Amino acid sequence: MKNYRVLAIMIAVIAVSFAFVGFQCSSAELTSAKLYIERSEWDKAEEQLQKDVASNPQDEEAWYYLGYVRGEKQNWTGMRDAFQHALSISDVDKQNIINTEEHYWVQLYNQGTKYLQSGKDTSSNYDKAVQAFKSGIIVEPDSLLSYKGLAYTYLNMSLEDSAIEPLAVLWNKTKDEDAAKFLGEIYYEKGQKSKQDFLNDNQDKLAALKNLSSIEEGSSEEEIVATIGQPDEKTNESAQKGKRKSTGAKNDIWIYKTYGLTLAFDQDRLKTKKIDFVYNPHIDSMKYDLARAEFHKSLDIVVPASNLYQEDRDLMTVMTNCYIAADMSEQATETFRTGAIKNPDNADYQYNYGVILLRADDFESAVAQFKKAVDAGNTAVEQLKDKLAHPDSSVNPTKVNQDMERTQTTIWNATYNLGATYVRWGVHIQNRASQSSDPDSLHKAVSAEFDQALPYLG
């Protein structure tokens, strides 16, 4: 997670004056507490007020002053608790409580913002920002700006796991666009880490499965030995049938006991492959399952967010990456096919659909889709240039230039992938060719795709 923006929202400090009501008929403890408050002797005032509410739990005024005193002592949880007790009894001091909470919240929010902005120079200030924003949330639990400040602070500290909770509050309560992007990326990165751990832990076992699946009819003995090693047993088909081995033939049978594999050769080429049992290398899939769970968490956020913010390229990129990483090709194809149809002028939808098609080896469709992306992108760039040339009051030149730069990047990516698609198409034709294919025809077919790639890769 890199280059998180620093929250730079400042709120003017609200001037709140605390006007104490005149002394009324009160308990001895409350009367003493008010005297201590006037002298700013907060510990003694709190002690007297605690005695009062213990013996008179319905004394709203004592609860109110107890909250006020705890605020002066920066005991935010205690302040909030006392104020809630007071309000549960009466709303006579409701406005005073609102003013007090607003006063402290603004103080804490401004402190947090100041420390967040200076954290890049003094890293210890990030910890102070966290504490300030957390305290602000206690004072005003519905203060979404405090959640945003807390989330951005954690992101700047590279504490992505800690940022999840405040970001989730922002997304769930307001469908915040930035919160969706950050959450989607965090879950995607967590999934990628678990997936890579799975691949690392099971590297040899996965390689064995891949090598076994690559054994095909027509493979040479030399290729097979290079792929899965020497067999456990080698026999000759003629010998098995009780016949004398002919001097001109080599019809060996290879047996791999570990893999449950029997291979029969004609000369030195594999003729038939018999699977005696399915080889099970006992792969531990726990981390892979964890990875998929993280990808799904990301998709649960970025898919609806992409529907809300269809011009947000970052959301679209995270969504594409998650579908691919989670091996959800069918869902990805349907999502981006629908998006491309509904948004024919959106170069990003066209491009991302092309990426999905390319991964599915649907080369012809991918080429068509990347060309649509280039066309849509070029049209969008001309429209943006026209906005700059004939601006009105609604045009923000900075944003228009940013949109143009991003669209040009999409055009470049689509153009490059056009060339890459033709190259992969040629390689695919070559790899799929049978042993009996006409070499000249095969060469022409492969060369034709490579030639079409050149204009896009130059």
d(CA 351, CA 406): 13
pLDDT for the residue numbered 25: 54
Per-residue burial over 114-150, b = 16 or more CB atoms within 10 Å of its CB, e = otherwise: ebbbbbeeeeebbebbbbbbbbbbbbbeebbbbbbbb
Amino acid identity for residue 419 in this structure: G
Q: Is the pTM of this model over 0.85?
A: no
pLDDT of 405 > 60? The answer is: yes
pLDDT band at 445 (very low <50, low <70, confident <90, very high): confident
Tell me if domain 1-165 and domain 329-457 are identical in fold.
Answer: yes
**Helix boundaries (H) for 260-362:** 286-308, 313-325, 329-342, 347-359
**Strands 269-275, 252-256: pairing kind:** unpaired
Q: Distance of CA 432 to CAs 213, 231, 425, 429, Å?
A: 15, 27, 11, 5
pLDDT band at 137 (very low <50, low <70, confident <90, very high): very high
Question: What is the H or E stretch that residue 254 is in?
Answer: strand 252-256
Residues 6+ away with beta carbon under 8 Å from 347: 373, 374, 376, 377, 380, 407, 410, 411, 414
Structure tokens at 165: 């909770």
| SS (HEC) of 405-437 | HHHHHHHHHHHHHHHHHHHHHHHHHHHHCCCCC
Structure tokens at 100: 């007090």
d(CA 62, CA 51): 10
d(CA 149, CA 325): 31
Taking the domain 329-457, which CATH number applies? 1.25.40
d(CA 296, CA 194): 13
pLDDT for the residue numbered 238: 56
d(CA 397, CA 387): 8
pLDDT band at 19 (very low <50, low <70, confident <90, very high): very low
State the burial class of residue 2 (Cβ atoms within 10 Å of its Cβ: 0-12, 13-18, 19+): exposed
pLDDT of 240 > 80? The answer is: no
Structure tokens at 390: 């004939």
342: number of Cβ within 10 Å: 10
Structure tokens at 448: 């034709």
Q: What's the average model confidence in pLDDT over 173-177?
A: 96
338: number of Cβ within 10 Å: 12
The CATH architecture that domain 1-165 belongs to is Alpha Horseshoe (1.25)
Domains of the chain, by residue range, sit at: 1-165, 175-202+284-327, 217-275, 329-457
Closest CA to 317 of 337, 332, 331: 332
Structure tokens at 247: 């001097």
pLDDT for the residue numbered 12: 38
Q: What's the average model confidence in pLDDT over 188-196?
A: 96
pLDDT in tens, 98-132: 999 999 999 999 999 999 999 989 999 999 999 99
Helix axes of 177-201 and 203-213: crossing angle, nearest 10 degrees: 80
DSSP, res 245: P
Residues 6+ away with beta carbon under 8 Å from 361: 424, 428
Structure tokens at 148: 């945003």
Lowest mean pLDDT among 27-41, 96-110, 230-244, 273-287: 230-244
**Strands 233-236, 261-266: pairing kind:** unpaired
Lowest mean pLDDT among 4-13, 109-118, 306-315, 345-354: 4-13
pLDDT of 414 > 90? The answer is: yes
Helix axes of 60-72 and 28-38: crossing angle, nearest 10 degrees: 30
pLDDT for the residue numbered 423: 93
79 and 67 Cβ atoms separated by less than 8 Å = yes
Structure tokens at 345: 């002028």
pLDDT in tens, 147-162: 999 999 999 999 999 9
Residues 6+ away with beta carbon under 8 Å from 412: none
pLDDT of 309 > 80? The answer is: yes
110 and 103 Cβ atoms separated by less than 8 Å = no
Closest CA to 270 of 224, 231, 212, 211: 224
